[in-house]
Amino acid sequence: MTRRLIELLLLVALASAWGLTHASAGWAVAGALLGAVLWSLLDGIRARRLLRWLDTADTSKTPELSGMWGELSDRSRKVIKKLERKTQSSNARLDNFLAAIQESPNGVILLDGAGRIEWVNLTAAHQLGFDPQKDVGQYIQNLVRSPAFKTYLLGDDFNGEILIGGIGVRPSQPSKILVKIHPYGKKRKLMLTRDVTAVELADTMRRDFVANVSHEIRTPLTVLSGFVETMQNIPVSAAERATYLNLMSQQAQRMQMLVSDLLTLSRLEGSPAPGQGDWLNTNELMLPALQETRALSTVIAQPPHEITEVTQTAFCVSGNKSELHSAMSNLLSNAVRYTPGGGSIRSGWRLRADGGAEFFVEDSGPGIAAEHLPRLTERFYRIDRSRSRETGGTGLGLAIVKHVAQRHGGQLEVKSTVGKGSTFSIALPPSRVQQISPA
């Protein structure tokens, strides 16, 4: 301020001096006024340069100004740079925050006061079929067409949450998306989505499992209680008593098999996977499984099946002996139960081209229609319920086989043609296969 005052006084003095050279007081006053006007013009030019620089706020090119304007431009530059650093820091935090939300397993959508999408993460876009870039600015109710969602969005009560259909793996199987809206700011809304398809499926499977177990146990119990009541209240001959006791024994064995399979499944699901320390000879694994299968065939099939072992040079597989035996026995017993008497069953261990190995069971039964194949390993799923009950199946065998295969790093493979039979295989990875060195 002092410098500007000195500049003003100096110009006025010089202009007055110039006026005095004309030996007239009027010229002196005119010179002083001219000096003041000149100073105002110069000061205005400096102010204009500062204003132009402030419009661009380019801190790399500060205007060269003197005096108060120079000090003001320098201080402005420092303030602008400080604000730029704060803005950059805020933007970085915002980017990190949005990146974290982007990776969230839950969907996040920000809506403005009119219900338009301001921002959406990839999870929500995938769940609801949005384009995370093109759909920004679109009205949410135009993209989510569920009537329940529209009612929920336009209502005033957001305490609860609603379930709507999402984009599923197949159009016939839409996913289940749970939606919750949280109002914030000036009529803005935070919309959270969560895919609960697996939870809904697990809940359905749990209900079906309880219902199936109850049904499977109720049937033999009904038979047992019926025969017990008959024998208690009605005189029966020795032959009838023997018949009834035989049937009761069959039903008791059926319940025992069901409980045993349920316990096996529970143990498989609740215990750690077997290591690779125990190496088992495939020929030694086959012998007891084939003996059990031939004995079962003579009991439930007339004439018995033609059961053939497909031999190959023996090798070793790594795994749990009792689990592998259970899986092999289940596949063989299924072949016996579903192949008509006199049919052929071929089974054995063989090496695969990728260095792995497989245990296979090939039968000449009626085959399985393609629509049943994806559901074969579901618990209690049966293609022919009456046939399974006649032969004593529990409906849990293939579920056990699948779990055993997965616990050994492998998988259950099924190939079947209606009218031409089926082939079931337990495929194990190369890491669980070892050749036997010649003696």
* CA 189/CA 108 separation, integer angstroms: 11
Mark whether 313 and 368 lie in a shared domain.
yes
Mark whether 92 and 209 lie in a shared domain.
no
Q: Does residue 303 have a cis peptide bond before it, meaning omega lies within 30 degrees of 0?
A: yes
Domain boundary among 220, 250, 270: 270
User: Where in the sequence is the domain holding 350, given as residue range(s)?
Assistant: 279-435
Domain boundary among 57, 78, 97: 97
Mark whether 137 and 38 lie in a shared domain.
no
Mark whether 313 and 404 lie in a shared domain.
yes
pLDDT on residue 10: 60
pLDDT on residue 100: 73
- Tell me the CA distances in angstroms from 370 to 386, 414, 420, 422, 427, one per residue in order: 20, 10, 13, 11, 21
pLDDT on residue 328: 93
pLDDT on residue 173: 67
Q: Are strands 315-318 and 433-435 parallel, antiparallel or unpaired?
A: antiparallel
* CA 113/CA 31 separation, integer angstroms: 64
Residues 366 and 419 sit within 8 Å (Cβ to Cβ):
yes
Mark whether 73 and 118 lie in a shared domain.
no
Mark whether 286 and 378 lie in a shared domain.
yes
pLDDT on residue 63: 67
Domains identified in the chain, total number = 4
pLDDT on residue 93: 81
Nearest Cα to Cα of residue 192 among 107, 121, 99: 107
Half-sphere exposure of 70 (CA within 13 A, CB side): 6
Residue 421 sits in a domain whose CATH number is 3.30.565.10
**Amino acid identity at 134:** K
Mark whether 245 and 215 lie in a shared domain.
yes
* pTM, rounded to two decimals: 0.56
Mark whether 358 and 404 lie in a shared domain.
yes
Mark whether 313 and 403 lie in a shared domain.
yes
- For the chain, 439 residues long, the average pLDDT of each consecutive 10-residue run is 56 56 58 62 68 68 65 72 77 75 84 90 88 88 88 85 78 79 89 86 74 75 85 86 85 81 78 78 91 88 88 87 91 90 92 92 90 81 58 73 91 90 93 78
Mark whether 410 and 303 lie in a shared domain.
yes
Mark whether 255 and 352 lie in a shared domain.
no
Residues 268 and 305 sit within 8 Å (Cβ to Cβ):
no
Q: Are strands 306-309 and 188-195 parallel, antiparallel or unpaired?
A: unpaired
Residue 217 sits in a domain whose CATH number is 1.10.287.130
pLDDT on residue 40: 67
Domain boundary among 79, 97, 115: 97
At 319-368, the pLDDT tens digits run 989 899 999 999 998 899 889 988 999 999 999 999 999 999 999 988 88
Mark whether 190 and 66 lie in a shared domain.
no
Count of C-beta atoms within a 10 Å radius of residue 140? 23
pLDDT on residue 430: 92
